[in-house]
Amino acid sequence: MKRYILFVLTLLACFALVGCGNGNNGGDEQKKTTLTFASWGDATLEQAMIDAFMAKYPHIKVLRDTTITGTGNVFTENLIKASQAGTLPDVFVTDNVPNVIAAGIARDVSSYWNKDPDTQLVYEKIAQTGIYNGKRLAVPSYQFVKGMLVNLTLLRQLTGDPGVNWTYEEFKNIVSTHANTQLGGQTIYGINGFAPNGGVGTLGFEQIMPPQDDTSLGYDTWNGTSFNYENPLWIKYRKETDLFFANRWIEQLSEEEKQIEFGNPSAYPFGEGRVLFGIEGSWQAVTVMKDFASRNIDVQFYPFPGGTQGQKMPIILDYMCVSSKTKFPEEAYELVKWMSFGRDGWNARLQIMKDLDQTVTMYPVADYPEVWQQIKDDLDASPYYGLKAIIDLIHDGVPDCDKWLPGYNAFWTWVYENADTQGFWSMEAEQLASIWSAELNRQVQQAYQDLGLN
């Protein structure tokens, strides 16, 4: 904490002599403004970032709005309720940009974004998101990586370390050979799916792998205007997903089986040290690795295995918005920039996180060489060599569609609501591709139309 206080005092000294003019003549003191910021992120880190922002911009006071509660979708719903009550924060995080657009609470910041030199360094594929009919209604804030937790303690006993530069075929061969085998009188399972909300989880090979075999394809075959699940690569990897489930290479224990196996009906078998691989997001990976290390189990977070065109990291994007109701749009833009993609904000963030003894698990969306070098240097001093391999690949990552593309989440809601009646999970990949492609593209087009964004 002492180091953090010293850092803020240093910033205050550095900016004390900096003019905060906004076109004022004669050195007049700039009028002070107050902004509010709402997020479900780490309160200590965010307050430190806000303190550093106020040190750089002494004419702007920022208050963390803690009245917007919840995370994810609940947080976004509460934002909309706050807007209806007239208490919408000036800058906020959201997990569903289309919903805040529909509620009319996101401001177009194109006039600031387009003349900001930092935005010219935002990675092109990421910069293309958050724009609707030419309006910049959301700012990409951080990129997270979806990767593989690898239980090296198990693998070294069974086959060996595949290494960070591995391929999908190498991964598949390990799982198919060693899933459901016995080791020391215990069953070893192949892989846990991506399951942030519990359950069996998803593999998502058909979303992640096609761009690694064909670089012209985006996440889930998105090409900027539509999806094409009838692409042979989507069908190929959908069949791979079906194969993993059919052969039980993916761990699918029921609550009753978990009770018998682990004495806990809600046990996470990967966390029990009984699964070779686990699909996970970078935001959780360090916590998991630390937990395993405390039990003398060697687990690393590896880049997702690659395809014929190499390893293209699947990227999960987060977003922030400036309120459509803010009275101070220019100052609010400076705040959203500082808290998300901005260069100065990232330099401050890295120092603050170091002072708080935190490992970076969300990454810049822009090419700031000194920032990336600092992240790499910090990883050199850590045991997380898999994360460093991910950093070397992240610049050519493939951003997802989940939080920004209208109609995408609605489509997946439709899928799960109709899966049993339509027999989706037992349907052949070719038939599924035809039905899903048509419905997904219809929903995306309808969503754009409903939002008046065509």
pLDDT one-digit tens code per residue, 133-165? 999 999 999 999 999 999 999 999 999 999 999
Q: Who contacts 321 (Cβ-Cβ below 8 Å, separation ≥6)?
A: 91, 92, 94, 97, 100, 105, 106, 107, 137, 138, 139, 336
Q: Which residues touch 86 (CB under 8 Å, ≥6 apart)? A: none
Q: Residue 283's closest CA among 421, 448, 143?
A: 143
- At residue 264, the pLDDT reads 93
- Give the pLDDT score at 442: 97
Helix (H) or strand (E) holding 147: strand 139-151
Pick the closest to residue 79 from 40, 53, 109 (CA basis). Answer: 40
On average, the pLDDT of the chain sits at 91
What is the pLDDT averaged over residues 322-327?
A: 97
Please state the length of the chain.
454
pLDDT at 21: 35
Are the beta carbons of 377 and 33 closer than 8 angstroms? no
**pLDDT band of 202, cuts 50, 70, 90:** confident
Q: Which residue is listed with tokens 């052949």?
A: 428
Q: Which of 319, 320, 318, 326 is nearest to 89 (CA)?
A: 326
Look at residue 226 and tell me whether its pLDDT is greater than 90.
yes
What's the rounded mean pLDDT across residues 240-257?
Answer: 93
CA distances from 218 to 16, 90, 338 (A): 46, 33, 29
Q: Are strands 135-136 and 139-151 parallel, antiparallel or unpaired?
A: unpaired
Q: What is the pLDDT of residues 158-182, one digit of tens each?
A: 999 999 999 999 999 999 999 999 9
pLDDT for the residue numbered 209:
97
Buried-exposed string 399-412: b where 16+ CB fall within 10 A, e elsewhere: bbbebbbbbbbebe
- Coil, helix or strand at residue 146: strand
Q: What is the pLDDT of residue 359?
A: 92
- Taking only the tens place, the pLDDT of each residue in 282-314 is 999 999 999 999 999 999 999 999 999 999 999
Q: Which domains are assigned to the chain?
A: 2-22+29-144+317-392 (3.40.190.10), 145-314+395-399 (3.40.190.10)
Q: Residue 31 has what pLDDT? A: 80
Q: What percent of the chain has pLDDT over 70?
A: 92
DSSP of 369-380: HHHHHHHHHHHH
Residue 316 in this model has a pLDDT that exceeds 60 = yes
Asked whether 108 and 75 are in contact (CB, 8 A), the reply is: no
**pLDDT band at 29, cuts 50/70/90?**
low
Q: How confident is the model at residue 201 (pLDDT cuts 50, 70, 90)?
A: low
Q: Which residues contact 309 (CB under 8 A, 6 or more apart)?
A: 212, 213, 214, 215
